[in-house]
Chain A
Amino acid sequence: MTSGRDGRTGYLYIAPWLIGFLLLTAGPMCVSLYLSTTSWTMLTPPVQVGFRNYAAILTDDPIFTVSLLNTLVYVVLSVPLGLAVALGLALLLDQKAKGVAIFRTAFFLPSITNMVAVAMLWLWIFNPEYGLLNALLQHVGIAGPLWLQSEVWAKPSLVLMSLWGVGGTMMIFLAALQGIPQELYEAAELDGAGPLSRFIHVTVPMISPAVLFNLVVGIIGTFQVFTQAFVMTGTAQPGTEGGPNNATLFVVLYLYKKAFQEFRMGYASALAWVLFFLILAATVAQMRMAKRWVHYEGGER
């Protein structure tokens, strides 16, 4: 379909992106691939080590294994929970009732506030002695855990905090819900479908593309979790992030430490590629499975 009518002028217009793509994405990707096969501290020239970095990461780096498991646990907990909460909130907001907009604001606002400031707030909310959470739990007679200071509770703490930020996901669900033609519900009602049946047979298929979108974006984003763990864990000393006992050491945090605290740039590059393939595999798997459950309206969009 695309003839070359505008020829060079066309390339001129997309030049900013094209140059940026070559300089900031394609070029660095090639360099990164090369660096991942080297040992490099940035002070002396890189030394070729072949696939040794990858071999070490995959077979001989127990800390990486810990960070990978932490990341997987975090993804598996926070993505489905986040989707469920976001969808629940969107369903409530989709009811035609006055004054719903103010609740939409309340649910959405936390998701666009500054992550470091949010981390600061939750750091204090999770404080076992003086924090909000344990104070509330005490009210109902529960002795709360140590949250971020506990090896067991550190990851669930971060998952809980991530639920506070589901506003963006919720908005996308809400848009999808509001895009469902009312006639579909009316037709289902005429066929004698009750509320639950209408939800399963009308709402779910109609919003399934939005579910897929949120799922894929959620997985990609959650695999790269960094700021919370970096800001909220460990003591103030550099190198202690990811505690207690590496319970919140996620892959990107581990990568950051290798690159910018230990200056093992070759090893960190290899880590980045391992992470990339993990994310790619998870995304492709979701897309494949999606064919079975995502419903696309013929010809729409």
Chain B
Amino acid sequence: MRRMDTSWRATLTMTLRTSLLYGILSVLGAAFTLPLVWMLSVSLQDASGVFAQPFQWIPPSPRWENYIDAVTLFPFSRYLFNTSVITVSVVVLTVLSSSLVAYGFSRLRFRGRDALFAVCLSTMMLPGQVTMIPLYAAYARLGWIDTWYPLIVPAVFGSPFYIFLFRQFFMTIPREYDEAARLDGAGRFRIYWSIILPLARPAVATVALFCFIGAWNDFFNPLIYINSPEKATLTLGLHMLKNQIVGSGSVQWHVLMAAALVVMIPNVIVFIAAQKHFVKGLQMGGLRG
């Protein structure tokens, strides 16, 4: 009798606990999602609906045309193309060079290797502002201002954080694979290219993702290096559009919200498509950092 009573009580406590958990999660989930829902709502209003009091969350007649206005008000397809070319170049170059360097740091032995790796890691801490001005001056001298070179070329040299991530992953690949390939007569580069890199596909996916998000979202570099509107990226273009709209006095917030939402969409798609690689990458970077 008594035992039954306690188990009944335990079940009740569990149910209460779970309900409370879902209750709190739902409130917080709503708080995190609300800005995006509101953004969508604003983007579908007409010019007066934006300023309506009280605000109509579901516009009486949603204006999907706002999205057409948004992508025609600024050269959207041009910016999309520019951003894609820059981002794809950066991602491909970064993955190739960072993995190659990480292979060197994890599989080869040479004098000063560990010291150099420590230097590589420590550069992650360096704020970019310290090298920004000399780099700007150097690129100016090369005639690279208002070109995409300053945005793409640095990727040739890899990036310390991604080198670190690749190295962490390579360390988990048993050396027996290397040895077996070596016995088959494979050289260093063959081992890297046809053994290690294919085995490290999850790491490649994670680095490619992080790198994609970083390059796609980059604002500071396009801001200082690109002057011509036709060479701008989506992020820079959105900023220019905002200044143009705010500057003109007629603030069309519904169109601006539509444009901002369009710029956000690729990130959301990429994230949803590859959520598990994000999680894995963050765990790899965070726990062992």
Binding site for B on A (CB under 8 A): 1-14, 16-21, 23-25, 27-29, 31-32, 35, 42, 89, 92, 95, 97, 100, 102-103, 105-110, 112-118, 120-122, 124-125, 129-130, 132, 135, 164, 168, 171-172, 175-176, 179, 209-210, 213-214, 217, 220, 223-224, 226-227, 231, 235-237, 252, 255, 259-260, 265, 268-269, 271-273, 275-276, 279-280, 283, 301
Contacts and interface: CB of A to CB of B under 8 A. Distances in A.
Given A120-B257, A130-B55, A275-B127, 7 more contacts: A109-B271, A113-B264, A130-B53, A271-B129, A272-B132, A272-B133, A280-B125
A116 B235 contact: yes
Interface residues of B, number: 99
A14 B25 contact: no
A236 B247 contact: yes
A21 B119 contact: yes
A132 B271 CA distance: 26
Residue from B154, B261, B275, B287 whose CB has the most chain A CB atoms within 10 Å = B287
Given A115-B217, A122-B35, A265-B137, A231 B129 contact: no
Q: Is the interface of B mostly helix, strand, loop or mixed?
A: helix
B33 interface: yes
A213 to B, nearest CB: 5
A217 B224 CA distance: 25
Interface of B: 18, 21-22, 24-25, 28-29, 32-36, 38-39, 42, 50-51, 53-55, 97-98, 100-101, 103-105, 108-114, 116, 119-120, 123, 125-138, 140, 154, 156-158, 160, 163, 188, 192, 213, 216-217, 219-220, 224, 234-236, 238-239, 242-244, 246-247, 253, 256-257, 259-261, 263-264, 267-268, 271-272, 275, 278-279, 282-283, 285-289
Contacts, number: 269
A16 B113 CA distance: 14
A52 to B, nearest CB: 17
Given A2-B114, A172-B286, A114 B263 contact: yes
Contact of B163 (A6, A17, A23): A17
Given A130-B51, A164-B32, A172 B283 contact: yes
A29 B51 contact: no
A117 B131 contact: no
A32 B131 CA distance: 6
13 contacts: A2-B113, A6-B188, A7-B111, A10-B110, A13-B104, A16-B156, A17-B158, A20-B154, A42-B137, A113-B268, A114-B235, A276-B130, A279-B127
Contacts of A29: 126, 130-131, 134
A14 B21 contact: no
A92 B28 contact: yes
Residue from A13, A115, A125, A237 whose CB has the most chain B CB atoms within 10 Å = A13
B154 A164 contact: no
Contact of A224 (B50, B129, B158, B246): B129
A168 B289 CA distance: 14
Contact of B103 (A13, A97, A122): A13
B129 A4 contact: no
Q: Which 10 A-B pairs have the closest CB atoms?
A: A20-B157, A13-B104, A10-B110, A172-B286, A28-B131, A31-B134, A28-B134, A236-B247, A175-B283, A117-B260
B28 A213 contact: no
Contacts of A102: 29
Given A17-B101, A100-B25, A276-B127, A24 B157 contact: yes
A16 B158 CA distance: 7
Contact of B264 (A21, A114, A164, A214): A114
A130 B50 contact: yes
B286 A175 contact: yes
Given A4-B110, A6-B109, A124-B42, A259 B133 contact: yes
